Amino acid sequence: MSAIPANLKYLESHEWARAEADGTVTVGISDHAQNALGDLVFVEVPEVGAVLTKGAAAAVVESVKAASDVYTPVSGEVVATNDALKGSPELVNQDPYGEGWLFKIKPSNPAELDTLLDAAAYGKVVEAEH
Amino acid sequence: MAMHEPLIFTHSRAGRRAAGQYPREVEAKVPEHLRRKRPAALPEVSELQAVRHFTRLSQLNFSIDTHFYPLGSCTMKYNPRACNELAMLPGFLARHPLAPENLSQGFLACLYELQEMLKEVTGMKGVSLTPMAGAQGEFAGVAMIRAYHRARGDHERTEIIVPDAAHGTNPATATMCGCTVIEIPSLPNGDIDLDALKQALGPKTAGIMLTNPSTLGVFERNIREVARLVHEAGGLLYYDGANLNAILGKVRPGDMGFDVIHMNLHKTFSTPHGGGGPGSGAVGVGERLLPFLPVPIAAKEGERYRWLDERDLPQTIGRLSAFMGNAGVLLRAYVYMRMLGREGMHRVADFAALNANYLLARLRAEGFDAAYPERRASHEFIITLKRQAKELGVNAMDFAKRLLDYGFHAPTTYFPLLVPECLLIEPTETEAKEDLDAFVAAMVAIQREAEQDAAKVKGAPYTLPVRRLDDVRAAKQLDLAYVEPEQGA
Amino acid sequence: MPFIPHTEADVREMLATIGAPSIEALFEEIPAELRTRELTGIPPALNEMEIARLMHERAQQDGTPLNFIGAGAYDHHIPSAVWAIVTRGEFYSAYTPYQAEASQGTLQLLYEYQTMMTRLTGMQVSNASLYDGASALAEAALMAVRAHRRSKSARILVPATVNPTYRQVAHTITEGQRLSFDVVPYEPALGTFDPKRLAQYEGQDITAVVIQQPNFFGLFEDVDAITDWAHANGALVIAVVNPLSLALLKPPGEWGTKGVDIVVGDGQPLGVPLSSGGPYFGFMTTRMEHVRQMPGRIIGRTVDLDGKPGYTLTLQAREQHIRRSKATSNICTNQGLLVTAATIYMSIMGAEGLERVAATSQQQTTALVEALTRIPGVTLAFDGLRFHEAVLRLDRPVAPLLAALAERGIVGGYDLSRHYPELGHALLVCATEKRTDEDIARYAGALAELLKSA
């Protein structure tokens, strides 16, 4: 059973989003996603300063058997990226909701967060895929 | 079988050379600021050392000449030696591609006749031999479809419909041509979902890319309906000829309603796979697309042959290669087709289907699960090891690796993506019954091993130059070129 | 029927196992109306003896004339050992090395090839081949657009001294994607590209600049100045090179202050025969930072379960069979067998052998130019320093002369009038190490005769 923390929001495409105290949103991929991909060999993060629209491809996670796009759950400007992933892409596998975060984005429209799936709804998505 | 051979660089010694191969020494005239200061660190070995090294490397390979190679969708049939020898006759080998036409009549005659034979077996009206591989042929096909619509003033048609079972080159090609890919599902029985197709068709449809028999190894029974629907919507039909071996001489893509097809000469027409290439992806077209064919094309006028180029086909999509494609590969295909002849061309599919259906029947009788048990195999079929993966923890990859120990190259694994834990098996028509039986025996033995000692199968192969390789490390710690160890290290 | 091993007994037994009454029944799923009747357009079968006879006749029909032509394909000597090994069944009839354990021969050879190409071009990483030099240029342009994050224009500057057919192919292949090629004129008196012509593009958003060295006319370009201008202007640099010339010339990895970004070309001069136009192979090398944008297969070294070194296809996630519509390219099959030939050729010849071939070719071309320009009506168009090709001006149309020379068993050169009409009656000639002084004298004699009679 893959882990689905209750305090996060999710996309059907297996991204998670966490609203931080400073107003930014941290984005990563779910435990289910990292398991399906297998050992990650490379992560391509967006450039700091990039302005993205909700649903746009923001990053790429690459394993031996797949290279998948990671879509941004909200529109806004990228304010930080996880540099540790350069040397250690496996952090995403080991700790997908913590050390394995991909990027932080300053949302231009915070209301978009409310349109995301909650843990229960995402749990159903994962169940349907099995 | 040789088991290990060090890198050629480790055989190098400063000053060692194959002097018999060098022209006399002369001084080059290069301005100082453009001159190479240090020679490239290429090997310094004797001719014997080079010969021994590469001969030993060859002995580390499986090949059609040494092993049964039932790779689905690759058509690993025998590569006749005559094709190689005759394509490499001095007159063809030493000929420069830009030699004047009066010194190219023999060569052009072969190419012209090859074009004519390919038109005949595919039911198309024109052929260009220039694409250098299937993927380039696909590119030419989609580019011609786009050119056709634009020439009619229709710039809206930018969508290419692709079944989800398609080979990866199909959607990749559509993107390269600036089109959007619309994927439609296949039904559980392997046919295209006609309702999904109807929904996907519209004024933005440029065309559809199909393989028939499909990558699922079954014949698309609704093909005429598909053709009618697509044409009615204003789109064109592209045929991926990767599976032509299944229907050669039985049914022609042109008669099925296709407007453009690419052929893989390195599959159906037996030119060598060479460890990854070269191939040839000749394209054939119906009437509508004739003006757009890539150039150059061989033509016959009276008793003389000549090249057609942009001046003869002003609407051509252009050139795909610096010269006229993989000429040597074309000559090999020509020799093969002449040796098959009219009667032979009809019978390739007979024996390809016979071998595939026999192998399928024997494997099913031994308890293996076919992905489409109610369907006839075309020239290939799919076995799914989903049950073994679930019950024994032994999957398609494990079976494939253990087959190597039994002296068989594994079938295609994990393609098409739709069938879990699949083996796509294509024996081809050049394999003898006993070799098929031996393959079945190996599969049965591995199944038994999987039941009794799963770990053994999962650890395979054991008898090859290397055990299973660490793919993750290969991608994470990139070592893509040899770096000499430091001096004194 | 050739190549089919089945006896009648085999067929009977197999049909019984399948449970089908006949082979015909295996095709019952194909609608009857679609079934083909006899393929009357295919001639009856020939046995090997008969087809051999036909092919010998056709090959002899074209003869083996003396080649004084290059223009992208070069007539060099190939040691016999090269193709003796290349045509071994274990290389010839092997497939793409997807099952790495069963393909270590091919994979290790490709790793050695990649290593040699990085060393020859002065770059850090190579792929395992593309189709040919022309399509490699197209792929390089597409790669530059992908790799250059900051540039949005997708504009590529291409001097007119880059092979015209390569430019045509690059256009055909990139047509569907939003790329544009700006052709920049060369200096008509010199036959080379003047970097000062780039000034008009200063400050504009240029994605990449292409440089061919030697250029299509065989002349040396000012590669350092062009490279530095491009980088100063925020553009990537794509080098198109003759790999044999790199035995004499500074490699692209050392051009300008930083070296170029992508190197492509055709590997045919390295052990691949002219063979009427192909198969050849395209090569591509680049900087490590761009490796994930590089199309084509790449071989990596790793270890197996026992810690033993082994070779495998890597970074496959970028390729069509995994990434599908988002792949770096649609390329699948490449030119593996020709890469095998080039690797063996480079191993036998080594750097010194390549240097000798290159220097001798340059010298023989000089001798050819001297012999031909002694004939009234023949002048050298550009007297700059060159590799092994030269442009000659004639006092009359080139095409009929070439046809007449062909009758005398001489392929005299490449007619430039179609792609470079501003040069007038111009001919691109080439002499490699295979052309002896006697060959040159024969050509000069024939041309002198033809020019006298008119």
Backbone angles phi, psi at C155, to 5 degrees: -100, 130
B349-474 CATH? 3.90.1150.10
Tell me the nearest-neighbour CA distance from A100 into chain C, angstroms. Answer: 21
User: What is the pLDDT confidence band of residue A18, given thresholds at 50, 70 and 90?
Assistant: very high
Tell me if C239 sits within 8 A of C224, measured CB to CB: no
Please tell me which of the candidates C108, C314, C330 has its beta carbon nearest to residue B139.
Answer: C330
**Mean model confidence pLDDT for chain C:** 95
Q: Is C119 on the interface with B (CB under 8 A)?
A: yes
Q: In 3-state terms, what secondary structure has residue B417?
A: coil
Q: Do C346 and B43 touch (CB under 8 A)?
A: yes
Backbone angles phi, psi at A39, to 5 degrees: -55, 125
CA dihedral (C325, C329, C335, C336) positive or negative:
negative
Taking the C-alpha atoms of residue B280 and residue C367, their distance in angstroms, rounded to an integer, is 39
Q: Quick one: average pLDDT of B303-324? A: 96
Q: Is B475 on the interface with A (CB under 8 A)?
A: yes
pLDDT digit string, tens, across residues B109-161:
999 999 999 999 999 999 999 999 988 999 999 999 999 999 999 999 999 99
Please tell me which of the candidates A41, A47, A67 has its beta carbon nearest to residue C149.
Answer: A47
Residue of B nearest to C45 (CA): B341
Residues on chain B touching C48 (C-beta within 8 angstroms): 82, 339
Backbone angles phi, psi at C276, to 5 degrees: 60, 15
Side chain identity, residue C432: T
Hey, what CATH class is A9-110 in? mainly beta
Residue of C nearest to A44 (CA): C292
CB within 8 Å of chain A, chain C residues 281-340? 292, 316-318, 322-323, 326
Q: Which residues pair with B424 in a beta bridge?
A: B382, B412
Parts of chain B belonging to CATH 3.90.1150.10: 349-474
Pairing of strands C236-241, C309-314: unpaired
Residues on chain C touching B55 (C-beta within 8 angstroms): 85, 88
Pairing of strands C208-213, C236-241: parallel
Query: How high is the pLDDT of residue C320?
Result: 65
Query: How high is the pLDDT of residue B91?
Result: 94
pLDDT digit string, tens, across residues B369-396:
999 898 889 999 999 999 999 999 999 9
User: What is the pLDDT confidence band of residue C302, given thresholds at 50, 70 and 90?
Assistant: very high
Q: Do A62 and B471 touch (CB under 8 A)?
A: no
Domain C66-77+350-452 has CATH 3.40.350.10: no
Q: Which residues pair with A26 in a beta bridge?
A: A18, A104
The full DSSP string for B279-333 is ----EEE-GGGGGG--S-EEEEETTEEEEE-TTT-TT----SSSSSS-HHHHHHH
Side chain identity, residue B462: Y
**Nearest CA to A102 among A126, A67, A71, A63?**
A71
Q: Is C331 on the interface with B (CB under 8 A)?
A: yes
Residues on chain B touching C323 (C-beta within 8 angstroms): 168, 172
Q: Do B476 and A42 touch (CB under 8 A)?
A: yes
Query: How high is the pLDDT of residue B1?
Result: 57
Taking the C-alpha atoms of residue C340 and residue C112, their distance in angstroms, rounded to an integer, is 10
Q: Quick one: average pLDDT of C434-452? A: 97
Residues on chain B touching A62 (C-beta within 8 angstroms): 475
Query: How high is the pLDDT of residue B488?
Result: 46
Determine what percent of chain C is predicted with pLDDT higher than 90: 88
Cα–Cα separations (whole angstroms), residue B220 to B213, B284, B484:
6, 20, 55
Tell me if C185 sits within 8 A of C197, measured CB to CB: yes
Please tell me which of the candidates C30, C77, C338 has its beta carbon nearest to residue B251.
Answer: C30
CB neighbours of B434 closer than 8 A, spacing ≥ 6?
none
Q: Quick one: average pLDDT of B472-488? A: 87
Domain B82-340 has CATH 3.40.640.10: yes
Query: How high is the pLDDT of residue B489?
Result: 40
- Chain C partners (3+ C-beta pairs within 8 A): A, B
Q: Quick one: average pLDDT of C156-161? A: 98
CB within 8 Å of chain B, chain C residues 205-244? 220, 223-224
Among A34, A37, A41, the residue to mutate for chain B (most B Cβ within 10 A):
A41
Query: How high is the pLDDT of residue B216?
Result: 78
Pairing of strands B180-184, B159-163: parallel
Delimit the domains of chain C by residue range.
Answer: 66-77+350-452, 80-345
Task: Determine the Cα angle at B129 with ends B294 and C319, to 5°.
Answer: 80
Taking the C-alpha atoms of residue C307 and residue B409, their distance in angstroms, rounded to an integer, is 24
Residue B272: asked if its preceding bond is cis (omega within 30°), the reply is no
Q: Which residue in this structure is represented by tokens 């394999």?
A: B431
Q: Is C436 on the interface with B (CB under 8 A)?
A: no
Q: Is B479 on the interface with A (CB under 8 A)?
A: no
**Nearest CA to B484 among C115, C107, C125?**
C115
Query: How high is the pLDDT of residue A48?
Result: 94
pLDDT digit string, tens, across residues B447-477:
999 999 999 999 999 999 999 999 999 999 9
Tell me the nearest-neighbour CA distance from A39 into chain B, angstroms. Answer: 7
Alpha helices, DSSP H, located in B379-432: 386-392, 396-405
Q: Is B48 on the interface with C (CB under 8 A)?
A: no
Residues on chain C touching B262 (C-beta within 8 angstroms): none
Edge-to-edge strands of the sheet including B381-384? Answer: B369-370, B381-384, B422-425, B412-413
Tell me if B183 sits within 8 A of B135, measured CB to CB: no
Parts of chain B belonging to CATH 3.40.640.10: 82-340
Edge-to-edge strands of the sheet including A103-107? Answer: A9-10, A15-19, A25-29, A103-107, A76-81, A51-52
Query: How high is the pLDDT of residue B22?
Result: 87
Mean pLDDT is lowest, of B71-80, C215-224, C264-273, for B71-80
According to DSSP, residue B395 is labeled -
Task: Determine the Cα angle at B271 with ends B267 and B273, to 5°.
Answer: 75
Asked if pLDDT for residue C327 goes beyond 80, the answer is no
The CATH T-level fold of domain C80-345 is Aspartate Aminotransferase; domain 2 (3.40.640)
Tell me if B307 sits within 8 A of B299, measured CB to CB: yes
Tell me the nearest-neighbour CA distance from B448 into chain C, angstroms. Answer: 23
